[in-house]
A and B are shown apart, each in its own frame.
Chain A
Amino acid sequence: MKLDLSPQDAWQPLPPSQWNEDAARHLLRRASWAAQPPEVARLMTEGLKAGLERLFPAKAGLLPKPRLISNLEDALPAYAAKIRDAETREQKQVLQREQRERQQQAIQDLTIKWLQFASRPENAVTEKWAHFLGDIYVVSYEKVNNPGHIYQHYDTLRQGGLGPAPALTKAVSRSPAMVRYLDLQDSKKNAPNENFARELFELFVLGEGNYTEQDIKEAARAFTGYRLRPDGFHFAANQHDERPKTVFGKTGKFTGDDVIDLAYAQSAAGRFIPAEMAKFYLSEAPLSPAYLATLGDWWRSTGYDLRQLAHRFFASRLFHHPAFRGNYIKRPTQLYLGLVLDLNINVAPYPRHSLNTLRLMGEEPFRAPNVSGWDGGRLWINSSTLNARRQLVETIFSPVNEENLNADEQVEVVAARSQGAGTFTVTEERLEKMLQSMTPEQITARFLDYFLPVKVGEKFRADVLSFLTGETDEAKRLARLRSTAVTLLQSPEYQLC
Chain B
Amino acid sequence: MNNSYQALPTTRREFLAWGGKGIGLLAFSQFAPSFLVQSTLAATPSPEKDRSILVLVQLAGGNDGLNTVIPYEDPEYYRLRPTIGIKKEEAIRLDDTLGLHPSLAALHALIQDGRAGIVQNVGYPNPNHSHFRSSEIWETGSESNEFLPSGWIGRFLDNACGGAPGTAGTGGDPVAVHVTNELPQSFQSRKPQSTFGIRGGGNGKNRENLAFLEKLVKQDDHEANANASFLRATMMDALVTEQRVQKVLGGYRAESAYPGSNFAQSLRNVAALISAGMSTRVYFVSLGGFDTHSNQVNNHANLLRTLSEGLAAFQKDLVAKKLDSQVLTMTFSEFGRRPNENESRGTDHGTAAPLFIMGSHIKSPLHGTPPSLKLQKNKDLEFSTDFRQVYATVLDKWFACPTDQVLGKTYTPLPFI
Contact = CB atoms under 8 A, between A and B. Distances in A.
B348 A388 contact: no
A460 B294 contact: no
A326 B222 CA distance: 12
A248 B207 CA distance: 62
B133 interface: yes
A483 B206 CA distance: 9
Interface stretch (B50-58, B124-132, B368-376): B124-132
Contact of A193 (B132, B202, B348): B348
A191 B222 contact: no
A327 B22 CA distance: 14
Contacts of A454: 222, 225, 228
Contacts of B215: 463, 467
Interface stretch (B66-74, B176-184, B319-327, B388-396): B176-184
Contact of A379 (B182, B199, B221, B237): B182
A91 interface: no
A186 B344 contact: yes
A328 interface: yes
Interface string A377-395: 0111111111110110010
A20 to B, nearest CB: 20
B230 A378 contact: yes
A208 interface: yes
Query: Contact residue range for chain A?
Result: 35 or more
A383 B234 contact: yes
Given A186-B343, A329-B227, A467-B212, A370 B132 contact: yes
Given A193-B344, A483-B206, A328 B217 contact: no
Nearest to B229: A492
A87 B242 CA distance: 53
Nearest to B237: A383
A365 to B, nearest CB: 15
Contacts of A381: 183, 230-231, 234
A164 interface: no
Interface in A412-467: 454-460, 463-464, 467
A449 B133 CA distance: 41
A186 B216 contact: no
B228 A496 contact: yes
B197 A384 contact: yes
B343 to A, nearest CB: 3
B200 A391 contact: yes
B228 A492 contact: yes
Nearest to A208: B133
A382 B183 contact: yes
A379 B183 contact: yes
A108 to B, nearest CB: 19
Contact of B231 (A217, A488, A496): A496
B30 interface: no
Contacts of B216: 460, 463-464, 487-488, 491-492
A493 B217 CA distance: 9
A209 to B, nearest CB: 9
A35 to B, nearest CB: 18
Interface string B50-92: 0000000000110000000000000000000000000000000
B181 A370 contact: no
Given A383-B174, A383-B241, A463-B219, 7 more contacts: A193-B293, A193-B344, A372-B131, A381-B234, A382-B197, A483-B206, A486-B209
5 smallest CB-CB distances across A and B, nearest first, come from A457-B221, A191-B343, A383-B238, A186-B344, A492-B231
11 contacts: A191-B343, A360-B181, A381-B230, A383-B234, A384-B199, A391-B203, A454-B228, A458-B221, A463-B216, A467-B215, A483-B208
